[in-house]
Amino acid sequence: MSDSVFRKKSVVKAIADVDEGHASHMNKVLGVRDLTSFGIAAIIGAGIFSTIGRASVNGGPAVSLLFVFTAIACVFTALSYAQFASTVPVSGSAYTYAYVSFGEIFAWIIGWALILEYAVSNMVVAISWSEYFTSMLEGFGVHFPSYWATDYGSAAKAYALVQASATPAELPAHTRELAQAFQDAPALGSLKFIADLPAGFVTVLITALVYVGIKESRAASNLLVVLKLAVIGLVIAAGAFYVKPENWSPFAPNGVAGVLSGVASVFFAFIGFDSISTTAEECKNPQRDLPRAMIYCLIICTVLYVLITLVLTGMVNYKELGVDDPLAYVFQKVGLDAIAGVISVSAVVAITSALLVYQLGQPRIWMTMSRDGLLWPRFSKIHPRYRTPSFATIVTGFLVAIPSLFLDMQFFIDLTSVGTFFAFILVCAGILFLDAKGLSKHSKFKVPYINGKYIIGLALVVAMFLVLRAGGLLSGMQEKPLLAVFWLTWALFSVLSFRYNFSLLPVLGILTNLYLMTELGISNWAIFLVWLVIGLVIYFSYGYRKSKLAAETAP
């Protein structure tokens, strides 16, 4: 069995599979501008309009530096993605790259993780859209019932806090509003009927658009991104006049630990560049345009995130940003209700573009897995008129819409990161595989080669010296046992790099992503492991037997 589960797909076969059968051909209409637009649409979504506030509550203004650190980690990964995209221009993202590099079982794990990543990311975006939508309606004097615009768990928790508090008036306004929503909700006996209807509605609407076709999705995305960037420009330009430097002090109120506690929220904001690679089969020139688009959108988005974070934390105290609509909130706080209204209206439209890109990406991963025989054939069915993976798109709509009606945003944010980090690590490691096997010569874009022979080992010695001098090595590993894995991995790569002259940048991508993984809580890992077990059951009960590679290698 070991030989079978590690069977690999060649680069030639991965590309050839795309061309099998007329029905699999998709519309090749995307250029570098469209791809960059898709990347910006995905990266500047709920992250900048919502989760940036939650990250700032613990990290303070220093979260701006966390965005830089995370972006650097993503640049190493994006370069690796770009090389793979130029080598294997197939709509499978990290799933396809792992299939070529490490074999079928790793490809399945990554594909299964990406299914969770995309679905969960869209749930966060849909919930954030709902918050801004109801805020927009309030601006027009239309009151949408709060119990139809939140999840049951958040409302019930807020109600319990208010009931237990001796001074409820001192609790945050958002908490009191949720408690009131719970109290006002229609009930059947003790059962309260609470659901986030706008989140479900917008998911269905976007699913319909994605179902209709890539041209329509491209046009909508480009328009929405222009609007989104205009809103962000307005926030930065107008907000800069209301920045109070004293709000930046202390810059890191809870130290490094407080800053890093926002890793899940911050990293969630950047995973969108992965979605660009899922559209490879709809690109005019994927080997040229995909690498460019990935780098362009990462640079643009990092600059915007840092500026937005500094403006938000400068306008109000960081402790006040634990809301789902921080951009609108800070302008209301300083008395600029008109701008807050513009932001709410624009955010409703702009966040939709992130929803569109994620909803576009997930069906194409399922389509590729199905084409390889690992999922049921219907997932790779292409609509004869719209040229989209129709069945996979519909299933994606249900998978996102239903949970977004009932579950909490923070739950979803915490859930996205483990699988994504794992996928990123394998993509970076895959570049080392391509180099070792001589396959990089087929790449039209290559990760810039810097010989890591001595650098990686020397960096390990310096890092260990600094940590030991600070006396934080053992205590750090006691608090976060995964740090032991991080240090051992770094030591292993120091030896391997010395022996095999590994390229420095992919190794840095592996190490930075692995370090960020150590900052995630145990609940992230527990839920991911449950998801992984479910996926492995499906693989061994169906995909392992039905794999096209299995049929080709059978005697």
Do 162 and 289 have their domain in common?
no
Q: Which of residues 129 and 489 earns the better pLDDT score? A: 489
> 348-359 pLDDT, tens per residue?
777 777 777 778
How many other C-beta atoms can be found within 10 angstroms of the C-beta atom of residue 15?
14
Sign of CA dihedral 500, 504, 506, 509: positive
Structurally, the chain folds into a number of domains equal to 2
Is residue 363 situated within a structural domain?
no
Is residue 546 situated within a structural domain?
yes
Q: What was the pLDDT predicted at 411?
A: 66
Write down the H helix ranges in 439-521: 455-470, 473-479, 482-500, 504-518
Indicate the burial class of 62 (C-beta count within 10 angstroms; 0-12, 13-18, 19 or more).
buried
Q: Which of 372-381, 414-423, 456-465 has the lowest mean pLDDT?
A: 414-423
> Of how many residues is the chain composed?
555
Q: Which of 347-356, 408-417, 424-433, 534-543 has the lowest mean pLDDT?
A: 408-417
Task: Quote the tokens at residue 421.
Answer: 């980090």
| Mean pLDDT of all residues belonging to the chain | 81
Alpha carbon distance 111, 104 (integer Å): 10
Using DSSP's 3-state secondary structure scheme, residue 481 falls into coil
Asked if 122 and 203 touch (Cβ cutoff 8 Å), the reply is yes
Q: Which of residues 210 and 217 earns the better pLDDT score? A: 210
Q: Which of residues 471 and 65 earns the better pLDDT score? A: 65
> 264-284 pLDDT, tens per residue?
666 666 767 777 777 777 788
Do 172 and 91 have their domain in common?
no
CATH code of the domain containing 31: 1.20.1740.10
Q: Does the pLDDT at position 324 exceed 80?
A: no
Do 165 and 296 have their domain in common?
no
Q: Does the pLDDT at position 512 exceed 80?
A: yes
Mean per-residue pLDDT, 458-477: 80
Q: What was the pLDDT predicted at 413?
A: 64
Alpha carbon distance 205, 73 (integer Å): 34
Mean per-residue pLDDT, 71-87: 83
Local structure of residue 262 (DSSP, 8 states): T
Kindly list the distances between the CA atom of residue 139 and the CA atoms of 143, 176, 235, 519, in Å, as whole numbers in the listed order: 9, 20, 18, 39
Do 74 and 114 have their domain in common?
yes
Q: What was the pLDDT predicted at 537?
A: 94
Do 133 and 179 have their domain in common?
no
In which band, very low, low, confident or very high, does the pLDDT at 25 lie, cut at 50, 70 and 90? Answer: low
Q: Does the pLDDT at position 410 exceed 70?
A: no
In which band, very low, low, confident or very high, does the pLDDT at 53 lie, cut at 50, 70 and 90? Answer: confident
Q: Does the pLDDT at position 97 exceed 50?
A: yes
Q: What was the pLDDT predicted at 316?
A: 85
Q: Give ∠ CA 242-245-246 in degrees, rounded to 5.
A: 115
In which band, very low, low, confident or very high, does the pLDDT at 22 lie, cut at 50, 70 and 90? Answer: very low
Alpha carbon distance 467, 521 (integer Å): 22
Q: Which of residues 213 and 20 earns the better pLDDT score? A: 213
Q: Does the pLDDT at position 24 exceed 60?
A: no
In which band, very low, low, confident or very high, does the pLDDT at 153 lie, cut at 50, 70 and 90? Answer: confident
Q: What was the pLDDT predicted at 46?
A: 56
Is residue 477 situated within a structural domain?
no
Is residue 203 situated within a structural domain?
no
Q: What was the pLDDT predicted at 8?
A: 83
Is residue 112 situated within a structural domain?
yes
Q: Does the pLDDT at position 554 exceed 80?
A: no
How far is the first Cα of the chain from the last one, in angstroms, to the nearest whole number?
14
Alpha carbon distance 428, 133 (integer Å): 39
Instruction: Characterise 25 by phi-psi region: left (phi > 0), alpha (psi -120 to 50), beta (else).
Output: beta
Q: Does the pLDDT at position 433 exceed 80?
A: yes
Q: Does the pLDDT at position 120 exceed 50?
A: yes
> 228-270 pLDDT, tens per residue?
788 788 888 888 888 888 888 888 887 777 777 776 666 666 7
Residue 60's domain comprises: 11-139+214-325+409-450+503-553
Alpha carbon distance 74, 69 (integer Å): 9
Mean per-residue pLDDT, 178-189: 86
Q: What was the pLDDT predicted at 1?
A: 47
Do 119 and 160 have their domain in common?
no
Do 282 and 307 have their domain in common?
yes
Q: What was the pLDDT predicted at 20?
A: 60
In which band, very low, low, confident or very high, does the pLDDT at 497 lie, cut at 50, 70 and 90? Answer: very high
Q: Does the pLDDT at position 496 exceed 90?
A: yes
Which amino acid would we find at residue 417?
A: S
Is residue 494 situated within a structural domain?
no
Alpha carbon distance 191, 381 (integer Å): 41
Q: Does the pLDDT at position 21 exceed 60?
A: no
Mean per-residue pLDDT, 466-489: 78
Do 159 and 290 have their domain in common?
no
Mean per-residue pLDDT, 110-129: 81
Mean per-residue pLDDT, 101-121: 84
Do 182 and 119 have their domain in common?
no
Helix, strand, coil % in the chain, rounded to nearest 5: 80, 0, 20
In which band, very low, low, confident or very high, does the pLDDT at 65 lie, cut at 50, 70 and 90? Answer: confident
Alpha carbon distance 128, 131 (integer Å): 5
In which band, very low, low, confident or very high, does the pLDDT at 406 lie, cut at 50, 70 and 90? Answer: confident
In which band, very low, low, confident or very high, does the pLDDT at 158 lie, cut at 50, 70 and 90? Answer: confident
Helices 11-18, 94-101: inter-axial angle, 10-degree rounding: 140
Q: What was the pLDDT predicted at 269?
A: 66
Q: Does the pLDDT at position 447 exceed 50?
A: yes
Q: Does the pLDDT at position 93 exceed 90?
A: no
In which band, very low, low, confident or very high, does the pLDDT at 489 lie, cut at 50, 70 and 90? Answer: very high
Do 133 and 166 have their domain in common?
no
Q: What was the pLDDT predicted at 18?
A: 64
Do 68 and 92 have their domain in common?
yes
Q: What was the pLDDT predicted at 238?
A: 85
Q: Which of residues 47 and 362 earns the better pLDDT score? A: 362
Is residue 104 situated within a structural domain?
yes
Is residue 472 situated within a structural domain?
no
Do 105 and 25 have their domain in common?
yes
